[in-house]
């Protein structure tokens, strides 16, 4: 005779076996391996007077002691259908991954799903805080104009195995704006996460 307790044990055992079988057949998430791969965000943008630029990011407000708090667009670039496949993502000034990069004033990196749903925004460069409405945009790296090769690590901001669209917009609040070429370089991730010291609110 099967008691309620026996039925419960049998049910739990069946569930455990089903879970083990499902886990055993689950495909392993792809991992990026091999030589680093470069993706161009934009080519070098020559220095020019900001007041002569026509476009502004009117949804943005930048804390500034002088200059225009609504930044002007210096240039932009985009990478579509990017999947880091568990790899590491850093910024460089060349496709070979040997040069640093510069930006005046800063570059806004926006990461979204292919359907347009925004996942993350971060700012890199010389600015004292930027916001969109009540959202304070996170800043990566120190407040400066120049960065060393791979100094800026975006790994933790990008889903491990999900296609995304990455948009980089160079913005300026001062008299002139410019930027060197900027490349996103995907490489094998030999450690977990990025450098926490590179991140500040």
**Rounded to whole angstroms, how far apart are CA atoms 143 and 21?**
51
Query: Which range is least confidently modeled, 6-15, 91-100, 141-150, 176-185?
Result: 6-15
Question: Could you tell me if residue 3 is inside a domain?
Answer: no
Residue owning tokens 């790899």: 87
Question: Could you tell me if residue 157 is inside a domain?
Answer: yes
Q: Is the pTM of this model over 0.75?
A: yes
Q: Which domain holds residue 97?
A: 37-200
**Rounded to whole angstroms, how far apart are CA atoms 79 and 164?**
8
Helix (H) and strand (E) counts in the chain: 1, 16
Give the residue from 90, 87, 70 showing the smallest Cα distance to 149.
90
For residues 95 and 1, the model is more confident at 95
Total of domains in the chain: 1
Question: Could you tell me if residue 180 is inside a domain?
Answer: yes
**Rounded to whole angstroms, how far apart are CA atoms 166 and 163?**
10
Question: Could you tell me if residue 78 is inside a domain?
Answer: yes
110-134 pLDDT, tens per residue? 999 999 999 999 999 999 899 999 9
Question: Could you tell me if residue 13 is inside a domain?
Answer: no
Q: Kindly give, in sequence order, each residue whose CB lies less than 8 Å from that of residue 87, ignoring residues fewer than 6 positions away.
A: 31, 32, 155, 186, 187, 188, 189
6-56 pLDDT, tens per residue? 555 555 555 555 555 555 455 666 788 999 999 999 999 999 998 889 899
Question: Could you tell me if residue 2 is inside a domain?
Answer: no
């Amino acid at each position: 005779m099967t008691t309620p307790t026996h039925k419960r044990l049998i049910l739990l055992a069946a569930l455990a076996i089903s879970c083990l079988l499902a886990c055993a057949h689950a495909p392993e998430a792809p991992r990026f391996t091999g030589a680093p791969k470069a993706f161009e965000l934009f080519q070098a943008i020559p220095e020019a007077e900001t007041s002569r630029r026509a476009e502004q990011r009117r949804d943005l407000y930048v804390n500034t002691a002088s200059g225009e708090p609504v930044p002007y667009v210096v240039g932009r670039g985009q990478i579509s259908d990017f999947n880091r496949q568990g790899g590491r993502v850093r910024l460089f000034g060349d496709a070979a991954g040997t040069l640093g990069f510069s930006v005046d004033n800063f570059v806004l990196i926006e990461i979204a799903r292919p359907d347009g749903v925004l996942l993350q925004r971060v700012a890199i460069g010389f600015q004292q805080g930027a916001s969109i409405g009540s959202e304070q945009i996170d800043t990566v790296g120190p407040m400066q104009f120049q960065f060393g090769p791979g100094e800026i690590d975006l790994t933790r901001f990008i889903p491990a195995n999900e296609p995304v669209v990455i948009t980089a917009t160079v913005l300026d609040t001062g008299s002139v704006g410019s930027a060197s070429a900027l490349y996103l370089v995907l490489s094998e991730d030999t450690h977990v996460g990025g450098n926490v010291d590179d991140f500040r609110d």
